[in-house]
Amino acid sequence: MLKTICLIITLVFANLAQADWPRRTPAQAGFEPRTFNSFVRKASAQHLTFKTDSLLVIKDGHLVFEGYYNNYHQDQRHALFSLGKTMINALYGIMEHQGLVHRDDLLSQYYPTGHSSVTLRHLLNMSSGIDWIEEDSKDLLASDPWFAFYSRESYRDMPAWVDARGQAHSANTKFNYSSGDSGLLVAAMRGAVAESDYANFAWKNLFRPLGMNTVAIEKDGSGFQALHGSGFASTRDIARLGLLYLSHGVVEGRQLWPADWVNFTATRAPAQSTPADPNDRNLQNNQAYGAQIWLNIKRAGDKARPYPELPSNALLGLGSRGQILMILPTEKLIMVRTATDSELSVTNRKDYRHGIFKALYYSLKRGGS
């Protein structure tokens, strides 16, 4: 009897969790069908160094397209790499709303850091000044994330390995895209929540309320949940995260974030008020960045936005090997792409993204939206 009840409960919950999105055809959703098909062909084509594993489009809360390739399927997780940093942003919004942290708190309030002037805001804006090269123009494979995630030395305790670095710049004076900064946010999160709550905090406060039931986060040797590079989620769950930004953090009538959180997230890092240095060794440093998410606005000195055809309020979560979460708040449009790309050139990777963003947005414009 008990078994039957359990089975029924399990089935009901499984159904809720997998509750299908209402669907619309591209035409019903406001896209021009012909150009929408061109977008799909472009974004799902398998190239030598660009291999799309899944593609999903949501417009006004309706599923418009969903495709899986290379033997991936709907319920399967995909490695997120740096796309997990967007989840870090979401979790910090939640923690601030719950009074556990404030963005202007010092890192030292939550983690025994050697960087006494660094605040959570600096870390969220990738502006801690802590020495780090995310993608090294001089030697791609000598880039810091490689060692951060795949050397025994750092794996034992990822945040400690970052914290041992020196200050290359004073805090908040230089934007420097750094998985190290995100790793320290992971560390501060553990300090901000009760140790007994830590194991489940992200699931209880973010993933479960959003119906994101596939998320997994791998831990380092000290038990830190390495969401800055080792998260996993299904394509649909990545889209669910995107929808949270469209609803300004409201889930089923409940506010998860402070009222200004999306605005803060979409505000360019203050350290980007000076032009990008063309000789910067870190190849990830030349585009506009908010709080753990990329922006489509100009940095000081830029002639054009990174993706000129796209609206300036676009939010872009990006991860290694081609993971993309594109959020267009005004158009209520979400696009997710997971991939196993192996393209080495930063320029080619950006051009590829630009191509599919442009194709999708063009179809929407042609459709009259």
Partner 1 sequence: MNLTRALFVVLALSLTACSVDKSSMSIFLAKETCSCKFLVGRSTKDCKKDASLTLLFGDLTIDEENKSVTATAEDKSNPATARFVSEKFGCEVVL
Measured from the CB of residue 205, what is the shortest distance to partner 1 in angstroms?
A: 15
Taking each helix axis from N to C end, the angle separating 84-97 and 235-246, rounded to the nearest 10 degrees, works out to: 40
How buried is residue 37: exposed, middle or buried, by Cβ count under 10 Å (0-12/13-18/19+)? Answer: middle
Q: Does 46 interact with partner 1 (rule: CB under 8 A)?
A: no
Q: To which residue do tokens 């910090």 refer?
A: 92
Q: Does 195 interact with partner 1 (rule: CB under 8 A)?
A: no
When binding is defined by CB under 8 A, the residue of 15, 16, 204, 221 that contacts partner 1 is 221
Measured from the CB of residue 97, what is the shortest distance to partner 1 in angstroms?
A: 24
Q: Does 170 interact with partner 1 (rule: CB under 8 A)?
A: no
When binding is defined by CB under 8 A, the residue of 10, 15, 18, 70 that contacts partner 1 is 70
When binding is defined by CB under 8 A, the residue of 25, 46, 74, 151 that contacts partner 1 is 151
Complex with partner 1: residue 81 or 264, whichever CB lies closer:
81
When binding is defined by CB under 8 A, the residue of 1, 5, 20, 153 that contacts partner 1 is 153
Measured from the CB of residue 344, what is the shortest distance to partner 1 in angstroms?
A: 7
Measured from the CB of residue 146, what is the shortest distance to partner 1 in angstroms?
A: 7
Measured from the CB of residue 47, what is the shortest distance to partner 1 in angstroms?
A: 11
Complex with partner 1: residue 306 or 322, whichever CB lies closer:
322
Exposure of 351 in the CB half-sphere (CA atoms within 13 A): 7
Complex with partner 1: residue 20 or 153, whichever CB lies closer:
153
Q: How far apart (Å, rounded) are the C-alpha atoms in residues 292 and 165?
A: 21
DSSP code string of 120-151? HHHHHTT-S-B---SSBSS-GGG-HHHHHHH-
Measured from the CB of residue 209, what is the shortest distance to partner 1 in angstroms?
A: 17
Binding mask 231-250 for partner 1 (x = CB under 8 A): -x------------------
Q: Does 150 interact with partner 1 (rule: CB under 8 A)?
A: yes
When binding is defined by CB under 8 A, the residue of 105, 108, 117, 147 that contacts partner 1 is 147
When binding is defined by CB under 8 A, the residue of 219, 332, 350, 366 that contacts partner 1 is 219
Tokens of 329: 């708040």
User: Which residues does residue 328 pair with via DSSP β-bridges, in sequence order?
Assistant: 333
Q: How far apart (Å, rounded) are the C-alpha atoms in residues 126 and 263?
A: 17
Measured from the CB of residue 225, what is the shortest distance to partner 1 in angstroms?
A: 8
When binding is defined by CB under 8 A, the residue of 33, 37, 38, 51 that contacts partner 1 is 51
Question: How many Cβ atoms sit within 10 Å of the Cβ of residue 145?
Answer: 21
C-alpha R_g of the chain: 20
The single-letter DSSP state of residue 53 is E
Q: How far apart (Å, rounded) are the C-alpha atoms in residues 209 and 207?
A: 6
Complex with partner 1: residue 154 or 282, whichever CB lies closer:
154
Taking each helix axis from N to C end, the angle separating 84-97 and 179-192, rounded to the nearest 10 degrees, works out to: 30
The single-letter DSSP state of residue 276 is P
CA 70 to chain CA centroid, nearest Å: 23
Measured from the CB of residue 340, what is the shortest distance to partner 1 in angstroms?
A: 5
3-state secondary structure of 337: strand
Complex with partner 1: residue 183 or 290, whichever CB lies closer:
183
Touching partner 1, residues 74-133 (CB under 8 A): 76-79
Do 257 and 241 contact (CB within 8 A), yes or no? Answer: no
CA distances from 285 to 136, 302, 354 (A): 11, 13, 18
Q: Does 139 interact with partner 1 (rule: CB under 8 A)?
A: yes
Q: How far apart (Å, rounded) are the C-alpha atoms in residues 51 and 44?
A: 8
Stretch in the footprint of partner 1 (CB under 8 A) among 144-152, 253-261, 292-300, 311-319 = 144-152
Binding site for partner 1 (CB under 8 A): 48-49, 51, 70-72, 76-79, 139-142, 146-147, 149-153, 155-156, 203, 216-219, 221, 225, 230, 232, 340, 342, 344
